[in-house]
Amino acid sequence: MTEMSSATIADVARRAGVSSATVSRVINRNYPVATSTRERVEAAIAELGYVVNAHARALAGATNRTVGIIINDVVDPFYAYIARGVEREATRHGRLCMVCCTEGSHQQELALIDLLHEQRADAVILVGGAHEDRAYAAEVGRRARALHAAGSTLVLCGRPSLGDDVPTKVVEYDNEGGAFAITDYLITQGHRRILFLGGPSSLSTTIARLAGHRRALEMRGLPQAKELVHTGSFSRRFGYDRIRELLAERLDFTAVFAANDTVAAGVMQALELAGVSVPGEISVVGYDDVPVAQELRPQLTTVRIPLEEMGRQAVRLALGVAGEGDYLAPVQTTTRVGTTVVVRDSVASAY
Amino acid sequence: MTEMSSATIADVARRAGVSSATVSRVINRNYPVATSTRERVEAAIAELGYVVNAHARALAGATNRTVGIIINDVVDPFYAYIARGVEREATRHGRLCMVCCTEGSHQQELALIDLLHEQRADAVILVGGAHEDRAYAAEVGRRARALHAAGSTLVLCGRPSLGDDVPTKVVEYDNEGGAFAITDYLITQGHRRILFLGGPSSLSTTIARLAGHRRALEMRGLPQAKELVHTGSFSRRFGYDRIRELLAERLDFTAVFAANDTVAAGVMQALELAGVSVPGEISVVGYDDVPVAQELRPQLTTVRIPLEEMGRQAVRLALGVAGEGDYLAPVQTTTRVGTTVVVRDSVASAY
DNA sequence: TTCTCCATAGAACGCGCTTACTATGGCCTT
DNA sequence: AAGGCCATAGTAAGCGCGTTCTATGGAGAA
């Protein structure tokens, strides 16, 4: 009774008394079909509950209309906002979006690139900073080439290029500049001993933020104290624990530059628990401007990254199309979005 | 020079000096192949950078190994956690996950179900409450049948069943029970005038939460004051604005039951601004237990929903497989997960 | 030695759709 | 009135892979 296999284009054709080619034309509207015929076909489609088979369609040549995005974790707002940008822009261009998570595993990441390649995605977007690792970079490069050879594109979103000989497109944001700016802001508020806290030390993101931080210090002629730099992870837990330790050690500092907002949240919680007032005694700044920055009390001064826009740019770049307000779409392989300091309530003058 | 079309199985076969059938067997390991032959084939695959074509594979019969999930917004933690569960469980079963967002549009939602059907997803998971709307429900039902006829499954996650004659599977959570429990908790703390705030009035989620709230009131013999129920939306803005209005009107209440944590965040902000102490003067509770609940000060007492687990259940149900610790996997069509009250610091005794 | 039986490998078909290329009327030109 | 042209519709060749059925050679059995 129940037909487990759905109707095919041939079934529709038979029912409408036409050839399968005609049905295809009715569906794709890419060839003239008499109105009466069209109506007959449409009726047959409705009666049979026919739904095109995207695989057969993709096989037969029409592009697959799919983009893939690979992130660490959907729940992390940093990635979620980028994913939203990708999803929206993909939809805007009639593409479906496949979201995959690596949970931070390189192995998984490489496997996912392959999987997306198998699916013949129009583009695969790799999001987030990369760890320094020659072998790993080589693997990514190999896949970028494979994708390229197949007519697809690997887009690096928020991580540095793999070199000019690797066919990728890149969406960058000004990591170093943002860190420079917010550090400078802290310095102009009179802070001299600024603690840099968090971020895996081998991650490109951390490296860039730390570089910007150091450049600001240097420019203002401030010393780069080793004991004031504590890389680690991007977790709240890290911020919380490390601050507690440092407080116990009675380390001298008047401000904390947390490597991201999540770490800053941990920092603020530890400070609150220790009875240290923010920004009265200690000033705190973060990076990313994810929602938690506005939930914290005091609200967090941080660096804003146009995350959603980065996601959108990534698919535009990959698809080679123009944005909504863009005048023209030069075929570019890299774009860079700016970062801005958002001043809120977590910094006070040190004077 | 550059080959824009990737290598096919035939290319590999030619290069390895075997037939395409043999290559297929090497790849799928489902048929004996002599070691020497296998090595030759594997070498050819590596040299050519060959990647299977998932479409051809799907067309040729092997299942597509893909599940789709339709949510409102990736950035909203409520959905993000469910999506994470779906993504993880799908990966665990070798499936790729396609995430689509509706931005709250019914139209878009229906279109996405169709799109996922076209992709021949093993399952389509529809997440979040549904608005009462006969025509819309009928449309969803039609698609559920189409999917079913094609051997796929529509899973309703966090919304009521469409009736026994519609072939869907359902993952519920105890919306009514959680609302009942937290209202009762408020009552046992001495609160008599509890404001119910937020949630679209025609949404199944709101309806269930309000029902649980009312049942608790009734059970304790408390009056159901009309002026204490203000449905609206699930936004922070709504919570903020409405509380400000109500405060201005000098409405009498000692506790607020926000329809979700986001609304509660708005409520707390408005209260803070008005100089009303929480929980000293007014107690506040929310629903969902998303991360913001722990960022608020005081930390929010709320109802916890095992969101990620719901996502996992949804794919298990759809795929008809057992969970990690499950003894057996009876072929069921509906599961229900419980909700629990999480007591934190936003409620004080009214005495 | 001859026949049988595995272990392998190949040939070929079909999955459902797109798309040249081909075929067929009817209507317009001259 | 005859030749053409245009609007439609049909035919059929793949797209890349899995799979069934068939073929082949060598080892073991008798």
By C1' distance from the Cα of B6, the closest nucleotide is D16
From the centroid of its chain, how far is CA B120? 21
Q: Which nucleotides of D are covered by protein (CB under 7 A)?
A: 7-12, 14-20
Average pLDDT over residues A238-252: 97
Mean pLDDT of chain B: 92
Average pLDDT over residues A76-96: 94
H or E segment and range at residue A245: helix A236-248
A55, A147, A308: best mutation site toward chain B, by most B Cβ within 10 Å?
A55
With 50 as the cut, is the pLDDT of residue A2 above it?
no
CA→C1' distance for A25 and D11 (Å): 15
Q: Quick one: B250 exposed, middle or buried, by C-beta within 10 A (0-12, 13-18, 19+)?
A: exposed
Q: Which of A54, A150, A265 sits opposite B119 (nearest CB)?
A: A54
Mean pLDDT of chain A: 92
Reported pTM: 0.92
With 80 as the cut, is the pLDDT of residue A65 above it?
yes
**Rounded distance between C-alpha atoms, residue B255 and residue B263, angstroms:** 14
Instruction: Identify the band that residue B321 occupies on the pLDDT scale cut at 50, 70 and 90.
Output: confident
Q: Read off the tokens for A175.
A: 């990591």
Query: What percent of chain A stands above pLDDT 70?
Result: 96
CB < 7 A to strand C: residues 15-44, chain A:
20-21, 24-25, 27-28, 30
Instruction: Identify the band that residue B330 occupies on the pLDDT scale cut at 50, 70 and 90.
Output: low
pLDDT tens profile B66-96: 999 999 999 999 999 999 999 999 999 989 8
pLDDT tens profile B194-252: 999 999 999 999 999 999 999 999 999 999 999 999 999 999 999 999 999 999 999 99
Tell me, what amino acid is at B181?
Answer: A
From the centroid of its chain, how far is CA B52? 32
HSE-up of residue B162 (Cα within 13 Å, Cβ side)? 25
pLDDT of A3: 46
3-state class (DSSP) for residue A267: helix
Q: Is A56–B59 a contact, with Cβ atoms under 8 angstroms apart?
A: yes
- CA-angle at B30, arms to B24 and B36, nearest 5°: 65
Average pLDDT over residues B269-296: 96
Which of residues 151 through 180 in chain B touch A, CB cutoff 8 A? 151
